[in-house]
Amino acid sequence: MSEKNIQVLLARRPTGEVLESDFEIVSSEVPPIQKGQFLVRNHYLSLDPYMRGRMSDAPSYAQPVALGDVMVGGTVGEVVASEHAAFKPGDMVVGALGWQLYGVSDGTGMTKITERDIPLSAYLGVLGMPGVTAYVGLMDIGAPQAGETVVVSAASGAVGSVVGQLAKIHGCRVVGIAGGQEKCRYVTDELGMDACLDYKAGRLGEDLDRAAPQGIDIYFENVGGPTFDTVLGRMNPFGRIPVCGMISQYNALEPYGVKNFRSVLMNRLKVQGFIVSDHLARWPTALKALGQGVREGRIKYRESIAQGLENAPAAFIGLLAGKNFGKQLVKLI
């Protein structure tokens, strides 16, 4: 194997905005494998908002990436060498081998992709962590009932787009929130949500009053900050708020102060944070439902694909600023 491995390391911990100089791109030998291991040539790297948390050493649910270590990240790729009984060269696998061309695994957390009628990249999106995140948050915490009104922020994104389409499948009225007219058109015209509000228009409260005249029963939270506050004040009694992310706050130096917290009491809301990795038992059920939705054309998805690992830092910075349109990936091959 003549190709070198290329890796993106965490070089510095960002303060506020992430900079390209927070990363270092290095070249190294393709790593050797030992008995019980296999080598994967990654085809796609997934970029996800949670990675911002791993760059920081503030207390969080996961260990930070150590300075000088390869950035963590989900990957799909092909097994190219194996000393492992269950994985053979030619197998396509999905796992978390990080921001690099080649990764070595002992099989922990790796899944073979056996159904190849859906493109490989989907296993990092709608049929991967973001899709299952949407399913678990909406179905298990949101518990949608037909006729209810569901609002989802980052509605054109990897998670939000699945939330909105699942909620439609379950008979809800769905209002997306997204940044800009182009994303909003996609959310209504392609994804089939009932309305989409452009938070950049600066009148989200009024727009919500119009688009959700019966109030809001479920708010699937991806962004935090003022959007959260605005929706919080419009929840119906016994509403549910699965809290999946707060992308508006990840680069913030000072946290936003939530003023409508009183609504939690007045409306007897359930506000619940969750992380999909706490719900591993739900993956098979979720993937079955999502795969069926994709095959039937009832769950659509869209990807922003950066070309080449050297462009991963810029693509990640763009993701945090909402410049992506759909699931952000990096093509590595």
Angle, in degrees to the nearest 10, between helices 204-211 and 225-232: 40
- Give the footprint of its own copies on residues 212-231 (CB under 8 A): 224, 228
Comparison of 169 and 243: residue with beta carbon closer to its own copies: 243
Site string for its own copies, 237-266 (x = CB under 8 A): x-----xxxx--x-----xxxxxxxx-xxx
Comparison of 119 and 255: residue with beta carbon closer to its own copies: 255
Site string for its own copies, 5-44 (x = CB under 8 A): ----------------------------------------
| Burial tier of 84 (Cβ tally within 10 Å: 0-12, 13-18, 19+) | buried
Comparison of 274 and 325: residue with beta carbon closer to its own copies: 274
Using rule CB under 8 A, residue 56 touches its own copies: no
Phi/psi of residue 163, nearest 5 degrees? -55, -50
Using rule CB under 8 A, residue 143 touches its own copies: no
To its own copies, the closest distance from the beta carbon of 195 in angstroms equals 23
Cα separations (Å) of 320 from 50, 51, 94, 249, 325?
10, 10, 24, 10, 12
Using rule CB under 8 A, residue 275 touches its own copies: yes
Closest C-alpha among 157, 308, 119 to residue 247:
157
Q: Which stretch binds its own copies (CB under 8 A): 57-65, 124-132, 149-157, 306-314?
A: 57-65
Angle, in degrees to the nearest 10, between helices 160-169 and 283-295: 80
Using rule CB under 8 A, residue 192 touches its own copies: no
Total residues at interface with its own copies (CB under 8 A): 33
Comparison of 266 and 321: residue with beta carbon closer to its own copies: 266
Q: Which helix or strand (DSSP H or E) is residue 134 part of?
A: helix 129-135
| CA gap 12, 4 in Å, rounded | 24
Using rule CB under 8 A, residue 273 touches its own copies: yes
The CA-CA-CA angle for residues 223, 226, 228, to 5°, reads 55
Query: What residues line the site for its own copies (CB under 8 A)?
Result: 53, 59-61, 224, 228, 237, 243-246, 249, 255-262, 264-275, 278
